[in-house]
Homo-oligomer: A and B are copies of this chain.
Amino acid sequence: MTPEEYLAIQKDRVNKYLEMFLLPETIKPVSIHKAIRYSVFSGGKRFRAALCIAACEAFNGDQVRVIPVASGLELIHTYSLIHDDLPCMDDDDLRRGQPTLHRVFGENIAVLAGDALNALAFNLVSRAEDCRIIRVLADAIGTEGMIGGQVADVESEGRSDISQDDVMFIHTHKTAALIKAGLEMGAITAGASDEDLKITGEFGSLIGLAFQIVDDILDIESSSEVLGKDVGSDELQDKATFPKVFGLDHSKEIARKMIDDAVAVLTRLHADTDILQGLAQFVISRVY
């Protein structure tokens, strides 16, 4: 199975689960349930969820048990995009080819929809009945993870003295932490050993960082039609990106090297890693 085929299958499963789980738009207060569905079903790739499921499968875990966990991960990702797009953050107008949530529903509903998704994710993730998974997720999205990276990101805007360490800090925390956590959550759901869990985390750190570097590159080389979001916005907002600090060509080399390293890490796992290997290659070959 190609990574694209695997992604399509898992995207469909996660979307069906979320369709079933999320409250209908008719439930009061109607606005927040509409806002949540608008954001959640706006066409994400569900790449994080697919990695989580793939990690679970690699260790022969139960695929049904991991779907709520993987779906919760996507709700966290969705909430983070909603809050990132807010006027007080990146002030973006376009996301996944549609107007950002606050442009349609107002800033207050956008803040609250993000808040609700944050909590809802923990309900989903709790369904594997293992509190270790809760802590892995909570830590990955806290001030030593995703939020820490987002803070460093907004504080770096417009600064001319951004170092390689700075941009590494931002990307490791803002993006890689959640991708790493998703893989670990899948492995824990499958009952992986502590050693395998550690190796899975190493793999996650590498592809998570590569994923964000490629994102930076696409923001320069792709088009908004393909990406479904504003391109060139990093430069416009004077964001700390890999191409800005390392140069475009060197950034590509770094990402390529990280994927090679990630694939090498996989050989140390006591698991069937074909799918994970394919998904790692997808990170570097994707065009959207």
Q: Are B148 and A119 in contact (CB under 8 A)?
A: no
Q: Are B83 and A29 in contact (CB under 8 A)?
A: no
Q: Are B114 and A141 in contact (CB under 8 A)?
A: no
Complex alpha-carbon distance, A129 and B131, angstroms: 6
- Closest 4 pairs between A and B when the two form their complex, measured CB to CB: A123-B138, A88-B107, A126-B134, A126-B131
Report which of B86, B114, B122, B154 forms a contact with A138, defined as CB distance below 8 A.
B122
Complex alpha-carbon distance, A245 and B17, angstroms: 41
Q: Are A143 and B86 in contact (CB under 8 A)?
A: no
Report which of B118, B137, B138, B151 forms a contact with A31, defined as CB distance below 8 A.
B151
Cβ-closest chain B residue relative to A134:
B126
Complex alpha-carbon distance, A142 and B122, angstroms: 11
Task: State whether the Cβ of A120 lies closer than 8 Å to any Cβ in chain B.
Answer: yes
Q: How far is the CB of A171 from chain B (nearest CB, A)?
A: 14
Task: State whether the Cβ of A144 lies closer than 8 Å to any Cβ in chain B.
Answer: yes
Complex alpha-carbon distance, A116 and B109, angstroms: 19
Residues of B within 8 A of A226 (CB): none
Task: State whether the Cβ of A159 lies closer than 8 Å to any Cβ in chain B.
Answer: no
Q: Are A116 and B143 in contact (CB under 8 A)?
A: yes
Task: State whether the Cβ of A2 lies closer than 8 Å to any Cβ in chain B.
Answer: no
Residues of B within 8 A of A142 (CB): 116, 119-120, 123
A100-133 interface with B by 8 A CB criterion? 106-109, 111-112, 114-116, 118-120, 122-123, 125-127, 129-131
A69-111 interface with B by 8 A CB criterion? 79, 83, 86, 88-89, 106-109, 111
